[in-house]
Structure 1
Amino acid sequence: MIELKNIQTVYFIGIGGIGMSALARYFHAKGAHVSGYDRTETALTKQLELEGIAVHYQENTKLIPAETDVVVYTPAIPANNKELVFCAEKKYLIVKRSDVLQWITLHSFNICISGTHGKTTTSTMIAHILRHSGYGCNAFLGGISTNYQSNFWSSENNVVVVEADEYDRSFLKLLPNIAIVTAIDPDHLDIYGTAEAVEDAFIAFTKKIKKDGALIYHSTIPCADKLNKTVAHYNYALSTPDADVHASQIQIQEGGYVFTVQAKYWQLTSVQLNMGGLHNVENALAAILVAKQLGIADHLIKESISTFKGVKRRFEFILKTAQHVFIDDYAHHPAELDALIHGVRSLYPNKKMVLVFQPHLYSRTKDFADAFAKSLQNADQVILLPIYPARELPIPGVDAALLIEKMNSTNVLLLSKDELIHWVATNRPELLITAGAGDIDKMVESLKEKLIE
C-alpha cells in the first residue's frame, strides 16, 4: 500500500468506466497528474478531457508517464492489453479500483451501498441528501447524478458514500460504518458459480461492518437471517407493514410519487419523489433510513428527496410529451427488468409499452434465459438487439434468438441497430423503453429524433 498523500501521478487503464472515472476525478481534485487509456471515446471520457484529464484511445505505452506512482486498472481490461503488460514489465505498482477505494476509505466514516440492483440510485440519493442538506460527503458513484452531472464530489466532512460492487468480490475490501443491502439475486455467476456463493459474499460483506455501525437491508432478501445482526439493524420494504420501515399512502403525481414513510417509532409524511418506478420509492426508503441514522432533520430530508433528479440511465425520461414517452434504463438482469416494467405500468397503465432490450454478456443471457423471457413477456411489444459481449467471447448456441425461443409471445422482433432506428421512425410508439448495460445508450438521441420528427 502507498500513502494517498504521496501519490502525485496516477495512470488509469480503462479510465472511461463509471467507477474508474470517479477515482480519476478524485485524484484530479487532489491535484495529482491524472491520465489514462480507454478503448472508445464516450460522453464521459470527453467530459474528463474537458476537466483537464488526458485520455487516449489507442494502446500506446509511450503515453504512460514515466514517473507514474500508481497504475489503476479495471478487470474488464484483457490480460494481454499492451499497456497493462508494459506496466507489469516496468514493475509499476498496479492495483484494481477496489484497492484504491480501500485506501481512500481506511480512515473515514463509510456509507457503503451494496446490492445486485438498486445500489446506484440508492447511493446517489444518499449522497444527494447529504450534499443538499449541508451535511457533506465524498461520493463515489456508479452512475452520473443528474443533479450534479458527475459521479464524484468531495467535501470537508470525512464521510464517504461509496457504491459497494459485488463483482469480483471487491466490496469485501471496504469497512462500512453503515452498510446497505438493496437486493441479493443470482448474478455474476461467471465469477461466483452459484447463487449460494453470491449470498455468502453478501453475508461476508455485512460482517465487515464496524462494531458501532448499522445494517440496513431489504426485508425480502433470501439470506436475511444470516446477515450480521450483531450491529444495529433495520429492514425496509415498499408496502410490507411488518418491515421496520415501509411506504404507505402512495400516490402517483406528475410522473413521480407522494408517500408517507412509516417506521415503528416515527413517520415522515408527504414525501415527494419526482422520478418514476415504485422500486425507486423503495430506494428512497433506504436513503431516508441512512439520513435518519445520521440525525439529519426531517424537513431537510424531505426537501432533498423532492429535489433529487435521478441518475442517468436509471428510469431516465428522455422524452415526455402528450404524444410520446421515452424512458431509458440500465436494467440488465431479469429482476431489474421486472422492476422497470412494473414501474412504467404504475405510471402509464393504458399505454402500449414497446421495450427494446439489449442483452448484456453471453454468460448472463445463458444463465438467466428463462427468467429474461418471463420478464420480457410483460411488455406489449419486445424488440431484441444482439447480445453486447463486453469482456466475453461468444458461447455456442447463445444469442438473442435464444430468448425469443423461450418467450411465449408473438410480439417480439430481433433487429439490428439500423433496423431499430427504421422501425421506430415508421411506428413512432407512444411508450418506448430502452434497456441494457451495453452500448444501447448511444442510440438514445437518434431514437428520440425519430419520435419527434
Structure 2
Amino acid sequence: MNFGKVNNVYFIGIGGIGMSAIARYFVANGKQVSGYDKTPTEITNSLEEIGVTIHFEDDIKAVSEVFLNPENTLVVYTPAIPKNHSEFNYFKDNGFNVLKRSAVLGEITKQTVCLAVAGTHGKTTTTSILGHLLHVCNVPVTAFLGGISENYNSNLIINGTEVTVVEADEFDRSFLTLSPDLACITSMDADHLDIYGNAEALVSTFKEFSECIKPNGKLFIKNGLPLKGITYGIEDDSDYCAQNISIVNGSYVFDVKTPSGIYKNFKFCLPGRHNLSNAIIALAMAAEYGCSYEELAKGLETYQGVKRRFTYQIKTDDFVFIDDYAHHPEEINAVHQAVREMYPDKKVLAIFQPHLFSRTKDFVDGFAESLSKFDELLLLDIYPARELPIEGVTSKWLLDKIENSNKKLIQKTEIINEIKKSEAQIVLTIGAGDIGVEVKHIKEAFYV
C-alpha cells in the first residue's frame, strides 16, 4: 500500500502498546490520526497530548467526518478486537483499506533496513536496547517498542527512517508479515497455545519466520535453539558471548567475545542474566549493522530499561519494591534469578496476577513450580483479558499446586495490608494484567 496517498489514519484499539507506537509514527509523519479504545489510559492520554482524537464508545457516529472518506483514510486494527465490533465492520463493509497492525508494520519496514526481534520472551527489552544503541550511534532509525522506554518515555524512538527496529510478534503469527535484513530469536518456549494448539506448531512457525529474512540477511539465535544462525549466549561457546562477568555496585561488568575479537569492560545496569542475554544479542545485531564497539559500550551503559520490566519503584537499604510484566513460568524464573542474584540474603514477597485462563491452564504446573521459589506469595484472581472463564481454571486451583507454606489468595484491595503484615524486605508485583495499576498505590503507601 502507498502510505503517501493516505492523509488520515484511524486506529481501532489505539491504546494498545503496539498500536500506539504506530499511531505516534504516523503523527510524526504528518498524518491526521484518530482512534477508538475501550477505556482511557496513560497511553491514550499521552496520545491526546500530541493531538490524537480518541473516543471510548464503539459507535461510528463518534468518528470524525474527516476519517469517513475511504479514498484517503487507512484503518488499522488490533486482532484483539471482537468480530462483532461495529466500527470495524462499518469500515470493512464500506470500501476502506482495513489492515491488521502487523500488516501495517510490514509495509512501513519494507523500504527500510529492518532489524527484527522475535522470541516468546525478551522481545521488548531487546528491542528497546537495540533501538537505544542505534540511536546513540546516530543511526537514522525508527524503533517500534512493545513497552515504554525509560530513556525516551515513549514506545517509539525516531532518529530517521532508513532503519527500522521492530518486535516480531508470534501472537496470531503476526511476524510472518515482516521481511527483515537482520533478525534474532531469543526463545521458543511454548506459549499462546490458544492460537497454536501445541508447542510443535509454535516452533514450526518460528522456523517459518526465519525463512522470511531477506536473501542476504542474517539470523541470530540464542545458543541451543534448533535453528542455524549466528549464536549468542553467556559464558559459553557462542559467536557473541558475555565473559568474565562480575557485579559492581548492582551493575554487570563484562567482556564480549565476538567473531572479530574480545572487547573489554562493558557495563550494563539491568539485573538478571536474562537481561544480560538480551543486551548481548542487541550488541551483536548493532555490531553486525556496523556500529563501533566503543560507541556501543557508551550506549549500553546509558540504557535505563523498560517500564514494568524489573522496574525499581522503591530502592532503599531496608525496603525494595520491584514491578515486572512477567506472565509465563520462564519469565517468573528469570525474575526470581535476578532478585536472588542481587539480594541473596533478603526475604522476598511476590504478588502475582495470572494472565489469561488458557495460559494458566496450559502452564499451571510450571507456574506452581516457579512461584514456589519465593519466600512468600500473594496470588490474585486470573486477569481474563480477551477470554471467557474456563471451568475449573481458577487461582485457587493454581494456589493448591504451589508448594509454599507462606501462600495466600487475596483481592487487589488487600495488597497493601498484606505487605504491611509481611517481614519481607523485597516486594515484587508480577503479571501482565491490571496489576500494574496497583503499583502507584503501593508506592504511595510505602515510599518514605
Query: Do the aligned residues in 1 keep the contact of 2:139 with 2:163 (CA within 8 Å)?
Result: no
Contact persistence 2:308–2:324 (CA under 8 A) = yes
How much is the aligned-residue C-alpha RMSD, in angstroms?
Answer: 1.3
Question: Are 1:428 and 1:450, in contact at CA under 8 Å, matched by a contact in 2?
Answer: no
Deviation at 1:323, TM superposition (A): 1.6
* Superposed counterparts of 1:42-441, under 5 Å: 42-64=41-63, 65-67=67-69, 69-221=73-225, 223-224=226-227, 229=228, 233-240=229-236, 242-427=237-422, 429-441=424-436
How many matched pairs? 443
**Are the counterparts in 2 of residues 220 and 237 from structure 1 also a CA contact under 8 Å?**
no
Q: Distance in 1 between matches of 2:343 and 2:365?
A: 26
1:58 and 1:262 map into 2 onto residues whose CA distance is 54
Tell me if the contact between 2:355 and 2:431 (Cα under 8 Å) persists in the aligned partners: yes
TM-score (norm 1): 0.95
TM-score (norm 2): 0.96
Question: Which segment is superposed worse, 162-171 or 87-96?
Answer: 87-96
Query: Using the alignment, how far apart are the partners of 2:137 and 2:358 within structure 1?
Result: 42
Cα-to-partner distance string for 1:128-150 (whole Å, 9 max, x where unaligned): 00001112311111111110011
Whole-angstrom CA distance in 2 between matches of 1:293 and 1:435? 35
Summarize deviations over 1:350-407 as a string: whole Å, max 9, x none. 1111111110000000000000101111111111111010000000000111211211
Amino acid in the other structure paired with 1:115 = G
Q: Distance in 1 between matches of 2:314 and 2:180?
A: 38
Range with bigger deviation, 357-366 or 131-140: 131-140
1:39 aligns with 2:8: no
SS in 1 for 2:68: coil
- Check whether the contact 1:425–1:450 (CA below 8 A) recurs between aligned residues: no
For the 8 Å contact 1:15–1:36, the answer to whether it is kept is yes
Q: Give me the whole-angstrom Cα distance separating, in 2, the residues matched to 1:75 and 1:11.
A: 15
Shift of 1:220: 2.4
Which region of structure 1 is more displaced relative to structure 2, 164-173 or 90-99? 90-99
The secondary structure found in structure 2 opposite 1:252 is strand
Name the amino acid aligned to 2:18: G
Distance in 1 of aligned mates of 2:347 and 2:424? 8
Counterparts of 2:114 and 2:235 in 1: how far apart (Å)?
A: 28
Tell which deviates more after alignment, 428-437 or 314-323. 428-437
Ranges in structure 1 where 5+ consecutive residues have no aligned partner: none
Aligned counterparts of 1:157 and 1:408: Cα–Cα separation in 2: 51
After superposition, the C-alpha distances for 1:76-118 in whole angstroms (9 at most, x for unaligned) are 1111222223223333221110110111111111100000000
CA drift at 1:174: 0.2
| Residue of structure 2 equivalent to 1:25 | 24
Contact 1:428 1:451 in 2 (8 A): no
- Aligned identity (percent) is 44
The AA in structure 1 aligned to 2:308 is R
Asked whether the 8 Å contact 1:333–1:372 carries over to 2, the reply is yes
For 2:382 and 2:39, locate their aligned partners in 1 and report how far apart those are by CA, in whole Å: 18
- Listed as ranges, the gaps of 5+ residues in structure 2 are none
State whether residues 346 and 424 of structure 2, in contact with CA within 8 Å, keep that contact through their aligned partners in structure 1.
Answer: no
Give structure 1 regions of 4+ aligned residues with deviation exceeding 3 angstroms.
425-429
Which digits, 9 at most, give the CA deviation of each residue in 1:217-272, with x for residues without a partner? 10122x23xxxx4xxx31111222x2222212211123221111123541121111
Partner SS for 2:404: coil
Q: 1:55-77: CA deviations, max 9, x gaps? A: 12222211223225111111111
Deviation of 1:292 (Å): 1.4
Give distance in 1, aligned partners of 2:16 and 2:248: 35
Q: Give the conservation status (yes or no) of the 8 Å contact 1:424–1:451.
A: no
Please tell me the residue identity of whatever aligns with 1:450.
A
Contact 2:314 2:447 in 1 (8 A): no
CA 1:254–1:40 in 2, change beyond 3 Å: closer, same or farther? farther
Counterpart position of 2:8: 9
